[in-house]
Structure 1
Amino acid sequence: MASFGQSDRKHMTYTPAAGYHWLSPLYDFGVAALTREKRWRRALIAQIGPHPRDVILDVGCGTGSLLVLLAKAASSARLIGIDPDPAMLTRAQKKAEAAGVRAEYHLGLARQAVEILGAVKPTKIVSSLVLHQVSLEEKAASLAAMSSALGPGGEIHIADYGLQRTPLMRTLFRASIQNLDGRANTEPNAKGVLLELMRSAGFRQVEETLVIPTVSGSVSLYRGRR
């Protein structure tokens, strides 16, 4: 079963899933159709290597698809999701319950991770298709909060739009993601800013591990250690 805690977190600003609140119900379909979801999720789970004793925080968990997969890979792991959209958290809760998955869900922004978690120190933090949707300032604040939230030796694993290396990938990214989520927030990702931001947030052994071309631009996998 899933537990769903909503703290009083007013004045939160964020780009909704799929770019607009009215498109959010189509988010899962869009991710599947535009991002080669099965490919990068499978690779991300393998990279995370979930262990039964892990405490895993999913920042910007959306509809909870990744947490369900993590639970199936390590059913005894403690799973926690954070997202600023109450509607998405409700969908995540229902998805977890339907799958028989135990998870905890909290309303909040990535930059509020330490406040939300309190004394809990995750062993691993994951984030997928989130950082391209927020401003450069928010990307930096989010990664800094994730770094502070992790326990010593903890790991961060990210799947997101990264450096768009070829003319084709740049064109597809502009035609799809930048039309939905706006150019200002997404352009730093397209220029490859995430590696630098991860290092600046205090992560070490930072690397891009995989680049997957899709019809909406290339999705990259990253990892680092606290």
Structure 2
Amino acid sequence: MGRAPSTLYDLAIRLFTREKCWRRIVLRTLAPQPGERILDVGCGTGTLAIAIKSIEPMAKITGIDPDPETLVRAIAKEPRSAAPIFWTKGFARDAAAGRRGAFDAVTCTLVLHQVPLEEKRAGLGAMFDALAPGGRLILADYGEQRSSFMRMLFRQTVQRLDGTTDTQPNADGVLPRLLQEAGFEEVTETAVVPTLTGLIAVFKARKPMTLISPSIVWP
């Protein structure tokens, strides 16, 4: 859903997307461990990043978002701790900037449906690059709308706010293919959550432990 002023955006997410339900699934799927380096792409006002920190205080968490206002709110919301979350400005395509291979896990929620197809590809490619070999991506976003009723809900809410050009690929089920194109393996849809705005899917994918370089063919 499009970014209204941040206070209204948080409220809309809670009311219309069953936020507690899919965030709980994301956290369970992520299963953060002590000392893990975790990047939250499109962190907004920090709800997910702070939740990760609350269940695993020893995780090293970075949140990235392009909106300075939401980052200010994230900093204000963060409980004071010995190991604070690092907040930084940037788009999904900037996920690996200066952080190539730096993270054990990446999360991204309700971001990719808002951006053009090429930005979806660029964002997933950057998330892949930001992960260490064997690292995992947990992605929650509007996925394939699998019934006429869900397509109607999606059309009357998300697509009215964000338009059809950027959102329709998600509704058509493009996310698994884009994840595979970015290089991820073990792409699995772990849950589908029906909401008043359409179906939200949760995906888990992994960066291969070893990247296979193209074979060299000698003349």
Q: Scaled by the length of structure 1, what TM-score is found?
A: 0.88
| Residues in 2 aligned to 1:124 and 1:20: alpha-carbon distance in whole angstroms | 25
| Residues in 1 aligned to 2:109 and 2:78: alpha-carbon distance in whole angstroms | 18
| Residues in 2 aligned to 1:87 and 1:135: alpha-carbon distance in whole angstroms | 23
- Listed one character per residue, the Cα deviations across residues 127-160 of structure 1 (whole Å, up to 9, x for unaligned) are 0000001100000000001101100100000011
Which of 122, 127, 138 in structure 2 is aligned with 1:146?
127
Corresponding position of 1:96: 78
SS in 2 for 1:123: strand
Residues 174 and 153 of structure 1: is their aligned pair in 2 closer, same or farther, counting only changes over 3 Å? same
Residues 102 and 172 of structure 1: is their aligned pair in 2 closer, same or farther, counting only changes over 3 Å? same
**CA shift at 1:101, angstroms?**
7.2
**CA shift at 1:200, angstroms?**
0.2
**5+ residue gaps, structure 2:** 208-219
Q: Which has the higher helix share?
A: 1
Residues 71 and 35 of structure 1: is their aligned pair in 2 closer, same or farther, counting only changes over 3 Å? same
**CA shift at 1:117, angstroms?**
2.5
- Listed one character per residue, the Cα deviations across residues 153-184 of structure 1 (whole Å, up to 9, x for unaligned) are 00000011000001111000011111111111
Q: 4+ residue stretches of structure 1 with deviation over 3 A?
A: 97-101
The Cα RMSD (Å) is 1.6
SS in 1 for 2:86: strand
SS in 2 for 1:152: strand
Q: Give 1:40's aligned amino acid.
A: W
Corresponding position of 1:175: 156
- Listed one character per residue, the Cα deviations across residues 186-226 of structure 1 (whole Å, up to 9, x for unaligned) are 11000010000000000000011110100000100001000
Corresponding position of 1:188: 169
8 A Cα contact 1:108 1:116, kept in partner: no
| Residues in 2 aligned to 1:99 and 1:76: alpha-carbon distance in whole angstroms | 10
8 A Cα contact 2:193 2:201, kept in partner: yes
Within the alignment, does 1:37 sit opposite 2:19 as a pair?
yes
| Residues in 1 aligned to 2:124 and 2:146: alpha-carbon distance in whole angstroms | 23
| Residues in 1 aligned to 2:98 and 2:72: alpha-carbon distance in whole angstroms | 18
Corresponding position of 2:210: none
Count, aligned residues: 207
Within the alignment, does 1:81 sit opposite 2:63 as a pair?
yes
5 Å-filtered alignment, 1:51-90, equals 51-90=33-72
SS in 2 for 1:202: coil
Corresponding position of 1:133: 114
Percentage of identical aligned residues: 44
Q: Scaled by the length of structure 2, what TM-score is found?
A: 0.90
| Residues in 2 aligned to 1:64 and 1:114: alpha-carbon distance in whole angstroms | 19
Corresponding position of 1:19: 2
**5+ residue gaps, structure 1:** 1-17
| Residues in 1 aligned to 2:125 and 2:112: alpha-carbon distance in whole angstroms | 13
8 A Cα contact 1:161 1:190, kept in partner: yes
